[in-house]
A and B are shown apart, each in its own frame.
Chain A
């Protein structure tokens, strides 16, 4: 179970808003996060990962306190080790596909399995600049999975994939999520993208 109760001020074109989320997410669940642009979906994921500090709040993951602003507790992203798929992929330009995964894990078998899962095994020596948008996005997903995170945070992870590849990838990803008991948060703009996959929904829609 992941319990989140946070409050963060957001600055936008329309002045200051407050992102307020209080919710619980069962262990191993897949939650779709949706809402209008600028509502704070990415900020919410980054707060959970420990990349952004909220003004107030608490995050408890599997009984471990990751954040408690009143008690002055805030674990670093390194300690939370939540897998994160960035909207802009955040791939390392100096590393090829295999090196991205080797940077995250030493488990060669796992790396080979991931490369096959993402259909990137034949491109493993290619650097991001030589990959298509879809291939880059798949690499970003594989890199986040490489650390076998208990919590996986994905910010629009399928936006650059064609419908066929998206369906195929989601199918194999579901098997991996189940196998490792990962709790998954997926930000998505596409209302139907996660139909039949997400078990829960979280609407972020600040006034």
Chain B
């Protein structure tokens, strides 16, 4: 079995999780504070990948990233960056596709914390940033870890979006889920089974770890 697709999958999932941690934490914090019409719309957009067929999302991303159209054309002209059929494109598509798995759990964890925790910190003269780093974040770390594991596991299982954006370029965009599809197409069931089993084991371990972690750690810190 060629291990390159597995390595590429793990690399994609790792980078996506890292990027989403950086984007997801401030975004979830902002969304957790109050409700406005704009926030509701943005939250709906972030949640869409949960319910939209991956091929639909992939199609629109393909159109958007294509060098012949809008954003893709602009990136090509100004920065000479091509997102379609490239690893960077896969990362961007994965970030969009897996965003609800990162933002959702963190946002609801923040909303479950008593408002008085942040208020107590403010009355001590601490800024919003200090309050987030020293008070809020440490008290939702179980949820952050759960969100990160779910995001990683979800990215491992991507197929539709990855196929639409990245195609099937060995060593560049041919991740494990594509390799399974490709092997079956070529009647190579032995390789398909090897890739499938690898993905199954990694994902199973991650999901079990979420359940185990939640069982012991992810209770409300105020219980």
Chain A bound to chain B:
yes
Contact A77 B122 (CB under 8 A): yes
Contact B114 A88 (CB under 8 A): yes
**Given that A77-B119, A86-B116, A103-B134 are known contacts, is A93 also in contact with B124, CB under 8 Å in the complex?**
no
List 25 A-B residue pairs with CB atoms under 8 Å apart, sorted by A's residue number.
Answer: A49-B123, A51-B123, A77-B119, A77-B123, A78-B126, A81-B124, A81-B125, A82-B123, A84-B119, A84-B120, A84-B123, A86-B120, A88-B116, A90-B116, A91-B120, A92-B117, A92-B121, A92-B139, A94-B138, A94-B139, A94-B221, A103-B134, A104-B124, A129-B223, A143-B120
Whole-angstrom distance from the CB of B109 to the nearest CB of chain A?
13
- Most chain-A Cβ atoms within 10 A of its Cβ — which of B114, B124, B139? B124
* A37-66 interface bits toward B, Cβ cutoff 8 Å, 1 = contact, 0 = none: 000000000100111000000000000000
| CB closest residue in chain B, given A105 | B124
Q: Say which size band chain A's interface belongs to.
A: 20 to 34
* Secondary structure class of chain B's binding surface, majority of residues: helix
Q: For B127, what are the chain A residues with a Cβ–Cβ distance below 8 Å?
A: 78
Check: A157 CB closer than 8 A to any chain B CB: no
Chain B residues close to A by CB (< 8 Å)? 114, 116-117, 119-127, 134-135, 138-139, 221-223
Contact B138 A147 (CB under 8 A): no
Alpha-carbon separation in the docked complex, A129 to B222 (Å): 7
Q: How many A-B residue pairs have CB under 8 A?
A: 58
Chain A residues close to B by CB (< 8 Å)? 46, 49-51, 76-78, 81-84, 86, 88, 90-94, 103-104, 129, 143-144, 146-147
Q: For A93, what are the chain B residues with a Cβ–Cβ distance below 8 Å?
A: 139, 221-222
Whole-angstrom distance from the CB of B130 to the nearest CB of chain A?
9
Alpha-carbon separation in the docked complex, A129 to B220 (Å): 11
Q: For A86, what are the chain B residues with a Cβ–Cβ distance below 8 Å?
A: 116, 119-120
Q: For A147, what are the chain B residues with a Cβ–Cβ distance below 8 Å?
A: 124-125
Q: For A88, what are the chain B residues with a Cβ–Cβ distance below 8 Å?
A: 114, 116
Contact A94 B119 (CB under 8 A): no
Alpha-carbon separation in the docked complex, A84 to B114 (Å): 16
Alpha-carbon separation in the docked complex, A49 to B124 (Å): 11
Q: For A78, what are the chain B residues with a Cβ–Cβ distance below 8 Å?
A: 122, 125-127
| CB closest residue in chain B, given A147 | B124
| CB closest residue in chain A, given B223 | A129
Contact B221 A144 (CB under 8 A): no
Alpha-carbon separation in the docked complex, A122 to B3 (Å): 57
Q: For A51, what are the chain B residues with a Cβ–Cβ distance below 8 Å?
A: 119, 122-123
Q: For B221, what are the chain A residues with a Cβ–Cβ distance below 8 Å?
A: 93-94
Q: For A103, what are the chain B residues with a Cβ–Cβ distance below 8 Å?
A: 121, 124, 126, 134
B124's partner among A50, A91, A143 (CB-CB below 8 A) is A143
Whole-angstrom distance from the CB of B214 to the nearest CB of chain A?
17
- Most chain-B Cβ atoms within 10 A of its Cβ — which of A49, A86, A129, A143? A86
Question: What 10 pairs between A and B have smallest CB-CB spacing?
Answer: A90-B116, A93-B221, A94-B138, A90-B120, A77-B122, A84-B123, A104-B124, A86-B116, A51-B119, A81-B125
Q: For B117, what are the chain A residues with a Cβ–Cβ distance below 8 Å?
A: 90, 92
Whole-angstrom distance from the CB of B132 to the nearest CB of chain A?
13
Q: For B124, what are the chain A residues with a Cβ–Cβ distance below 8 Å?
A: 81, 103-104, 143, 146-147
